[in-house]
Structure 1
Amino acid sequence: MTWALDHAGQIADLAWRHVLLAGIPLLLGLVLAIPLGWLAHRVPVLAPVMVVGTGLLYTIPSLALFILMPLMLGTRILDPVNVVVAMTIYTVALLVRTVVDGLRSVPGDVDAAATAMGLGALRRLWQVQLPLAVPVIAAGMRVAAVSNVSIVSIASLIGVAQLGDLLTDGYNRNIPAELITGILATLLLALVFDRAVVGVERLLTPWRAS
């Protein structure tokens, strides 16, 4: 506790960097996964290829992907953009299947009623299907959010500052207090992300509160 209080400013700065590195890819991944998942849902023959194909991206070791990003993007090795892009890829890998499952959970009679009312495919997606799919998508978002917080910590091995620095520095310099602080801070941040997703889900589905 004493070590954490003495280094509160450093911890807060690293935590904020961690929030950006894990949070921005979470939002970008969702934006990309929605049209991909919708396309897979609309064209069933594409679903297995897209779901399996994007899922395979998640099997790429994170450290290897972080190292490959500068070669692919032409960025510097320490550029945080490398981590953001890599984490966005991981998020898409997790969420495409979730979006497909969410759209499949929409009752067929509801979708048929929306079609009978004259709603086109895109209007049905935004006004009917996505709102009803929120609970399923939110469940996937919670997994992706916690996963992002965890994987981002590995970026400290390539010199990108965030809470993982406390883990590597605490271990390398044999400072147990710093190591424990890093572990607890990462766990707390993951919990904050999880609760944030739950909060947004409740805002988007007020009818489920009753």
Structure 2
Amino acid sequence: MILAYDKTYLPDAMANLAGAFDYALNDCGLPVGLFTDFFATSEVAELFGRGVPKYVCGMSGEELVVEIMRQAGWARIIDMPPVALRTGATPEYWAGWALAYCQWARGVRFADILDVLSFDDIVRLYPTLHEADESRFVDVYDEWAAHNRTEGDSRLHTVRVRAGLSQSELSRHSGVALRSIQMYEQRRKDLGKAAVSTVLALARTLGCRIEDLLEP
């Protein structure tokens, strides 16, 4: 097993990434797809994933969010609110915690994990997994990743990557809900049974034919 960085950094890394997602989504009210996409494509995610001390243990969750949004060109950083005091961990906090652990344990990019399990997917695991050891979440990730490798990439995923668009960008440009795009790519919903207007909007945004997106 190739770990992403030395284990001594892990507790701080998990707490700080958990705090970042909690702050971004619950205090700042940022849309989950927007912030997750900004994070996954940021230099912060790359350097955090390598275990660079400045990011894994040198910045609080709030500071990580400010840096992520600054790199994304977010003009309203100055308006971001203070961190609210909470009596317990939120589902979003736990999801960030589990995400940091999984990235450390598997040594893959955050973007790769989030392609398999969206942040919303991770939050949905909170009721059943938040009291379990973090390794149980890694088991779930491994199961989904193995399933995706067996099935191969969906046509929508392949065309989207070729077009250079993230899932969030495709959602914004096409008007198709981000969650639907994620489920079509993971084959949890059949794009062939979607409304014609949905498939047409995706095809126009991606610059391809409708039949290029439908599974055989």
TM-score, scaled relative to structure 2: 0.27
Bigger proportion of residues as helix: 1
Higher relative contact order (CA 8 A, sep 6+): 1
Radius of gyration: which is bigger?
1
